[in-house]
Amino acid sequence: MIRTRDLVLFVVSLVFLLSALSLTVVSDKQDIPTGTQFSLQETVAVPVEGAEVSSVSQLDRASVIARLKEKIQNTSLIITPQPSVVSDTEESTSTLTAQTELQACTYPDDALAVVPKWPLSGVQVIVQEGARLVVFEETATLPAQSGSSTQTAPTVRKTLLQMPLQPKKLAQSVCVPSEVIGVSLDGLLLFNRDMRFYRNVPEETRIGYARDGFPIYGVYEGETDACGGYEHPSGYRYVVSKDRDYVIGCFVASPATFDW
């Protein structure tokens, strides 16, 4: 039989062990500061943009040229390769990705080279002989001649860009070769990343023409394709979207090259 003294010693030992374990657990918990939380969220600094323009007419040529000169000085012009073609089998899975990624060409073209030389006045967008032309008119310089007779200096027209009047979509999209994506109605160069200048342009306001000849319109709230356009009843058009930080993601036709 178990004696009373042995039973009492057993109970006392058991109580001592339980007390020691409790103190150990409490001590471990005190090593972690109370109220500590862990988060996987990343803090992103959002830049504050300046005042947005409400119409295309508020874009002056001087500021356009100044911005692109700054782009040339502050960039190495190295463009990350992106696929320029989305196959039929990839279309269903790639549409969302294409909406958020610019399909830039591996190597840029020479469009940025025209920026420092782009005229600040005298540029017009005209239709001539089945094509849409961006032309520049200037007065020719005549050699000095003796005598008092007055000479009339002729006007010289130079074609800066020629786009198809009725462009046709290709079976495959074309990558964007440069930051210069087109020309506005009044002869301004259009830059792909200058979204803040177009975010208040109404949906049915035509901003200008992309280099492949298709028109570019204001903010559109509906769905667009990977290139940033859709089939309007009047024909295909590119549109501005507040969900993108660029105007177009790719060209649906071959972009024209500048003639100088």
The domain tally of the chain equals 1
Listed in sequence order, the residues at least 6 apart from 81 whose beta carbon sits closer than 8 Å to its beta carbon are 104, 105, 106
Establish if 235 belongs to a structural domain.
yes
Q: What is the pLDDT averaged over residues 93-122?
A: 74
What digits encode the pLDDT tens for the residues 149-191? 556 667 888 999 999 999 999 999 999 999 999 999 989 899 9
| Amino acid identity at 130 | G
Instruction: Report the pLDDT value the prediction gives residue 147, as an integer from 0 to 100.
Output: 58
Instruction: Report the pLDDT value the prediction gives residue 79, as an integer from 0 to 100.
Output: 40
Domain of residue 214 covers 56-112+168-240
Establish if 18 belongs to a structural domain.
no
**Residues of the chain above pLDDT 70, percent:** 56
DSSP 174: B
Establish if 16 belongs to a structural domain.
no
Instruction: Report the pLDDT value the prediction gives residue 111, as an integer from 0 to 100.
Output: 86
Instruction: Report the pLDDT value the prediction gives residue 45, as an integer from 0 to 100.
Output: 33
Establish if 49 belongs to a structural domain.
no
Name the token pair of 32: 């972690």
Instruction: Report the pLDDT value the prediction gives residue 162, as an integer from 0 to 100.
Output: 95
More confident residue, 144 or 204: 204
Establish if 190 belongs to a structural domain.
yes
Q: What is the pLDDT averaged over residues 183-212?
A: 93
What digits encode the pLDDT tens for the residues 21-35? 554 444 444 443 433
What digits encode the pLDDT tens for the residues 39-87? 223 323 333 333 444 445 555 556 666 776 676 665 544 443 334 333 3
**Rounded to an integer, what distance in angstroms lies between the CA atom of residue 254 and that of residue 169?**
9
Establish if 117 belongs to a structural domain.
no
Name the token pair of 179: 């930051």
DSSP 58-115: G--HHHHHHHHHHHHHT-------------TTTHHHHHHHHHHS--B-SS--SGGGGG
0.85 exceeded by the pTM?
no
Establish if 214 belongs to a structural domain.
yes
Only one residue has tokens 């190295």, namely 78
